[in-house]
Amino acid sequence: MIHIAKRLIEFMLFLLLLSFISFIFIKLAPGDPVKQMLHVDEVSVTKEQIEALRDELKFNEPLYIQYWYWLKRFFEFDLGHSYITKQPVLSELLSRFPATITLTCASLIVMILISVPLGTLSALYKNKWVDHMSRLFALVGSSIPSFWLGLLFIELFAVKLGILPSMGKGTAKHIILPSLTLGIAMSAVYVRLLRSSLLEGLNEDYVKAARARGISEKRIFLFHVFRRSLIPVITIFGMSLGSLISGTVVIEVLFAYPGIGKMVVDAIIRRDYPVIQGYVLFITILIVMINIFVDICYRYLNPEIRLKGVERR
């Protein structure tokens, strides 16, 4: 119990520190949302009106005071409202989250469906044609820019074959092309990672011992080698999941499938401070949760880690 409380306090302090750093960075970037709010590019306003709005929004106060105002609201569980849409930040984030999580999950399914069979086959048939093909796939997959791959898919599946929508949101068909684009780009890395991890595992002493004990190759591979080989893959996966959630802007734009990534890029361009700040906290919490999940996976995949934990207790 004390351990959990300690971890929670640590986490809160980390959140506070991060929120302060991000607040300072955002504010140090030149510009603010005032001109956007007043639409100076189409509405005749004066410099005095710009300054008056800056005063009203307290942008002329010292940075630490501005941070204090934000922090007070944060402790009341209020992330504020977007300066541009006037919507509560939390509801903006939550409204975009389902699209992001759907795209992330669908891309992961594609990634798993490609990288697990291909990585496994290329390890089992090392230096055979499957292995060469997987190497070529990894090379091409990681070299092709995702927006270009997306355009190729649109050209093939929407324009030429006419079987999938080129863009938009709404049906399951709409998720296929964006997830295929992202999934292929991701699997290029995982195929090679899984292959090398499996090859390493296949040469371990315990595999030789298992063979000597007469355990079937199928059982050795599935329950010993494959399971253990997933650990480095899961580690990289945990790290890339965070960037996948927030960093799919190019794909979101290309397929008009807006998620959290696109929202924050727009917010940064418009200097919509409350949205940026809310996003930083939201993603931090999410990444911490992903890391906890990855830790749990470790324990399941490698009993050694679980047992060490028991020993320490």
Min dist CB 37 to other proteins, Å, is: 6
Separation between Cα atoms, residue 36 and residue 6, nearest integer Å: 43
Min dist CB 85 to other proteins, Å, is: 5
Separation between Cα atoms, residue 141 and residue 150, nearest integer Å: 12
Residue whose CB is less far from other proteins, 127 or 171: 171
Residue whose CB is less far from other proteins, 42 or 205: 42
8 A C-beta contact, residue 259 and residue 95: no
Residues in contact with other proteins by CB under 8 A are 30-31, 35-50, 53, 84-87, 92, 95-96, 106, 109, 112-113, 147, 151, 154-155, 158-159, 162, 165-173, 175-176, 222, 226, 253-258, 262-263, 266
Min dist CB 69 to other proteins, Å, is: 19
Residue whose CB is less far from other proteins, 31 or 309: 31
Separation between Cα atoms, residue 242 and residue 236, nearest integer Å: 11
The alpha carbon of 244 is separated from its chain's Cα centroid by a whole number of angstroms, namely 3
Min dist CB 228 to other proteins, Å, is: 14
Beta-carbon-side half-sphere exposure of residue 236 (alpha carbons within 13 Å): 14
Identify the CA nearest to 191 among candidates 265, 132, 259, 261: 132
Separation between Cα atoms, residue 202 and residue 196, nearest integer Å: 10
Min dist CB 313 to other proteins, Å, is: 30
- Residue whose pair of structure tokens reads 């999410």 in the numeric block: 286
Min dist CB 173 to other proteins, Å, is: 4
Residue whose CB is less far from other proteins, 176 or 287: 176
The tokens for 260 are: 């959290």
Q: How many CB atoms lie within 10 A of CB 61?
A: 14
Residue whose CB is less far from other proteins, 173 or 211: 173
Beta bridge partners of 81: 88
Residue whose CB is less far from other proteins, 38 or 90: 38
Min dist CB 294 to other proteins, Å, is: 17
Residue whose CB is less far from other proteins, 15 or 256: 256
Separation between Cα atoms, residue 250 and residue 100, nearest integer Å: 13
Those residues with Cβ within 8 angstroms of residue 167's Cβ, 6 or more apart along the chain or in another chain: 154, 174, 254, 255, 256, 257
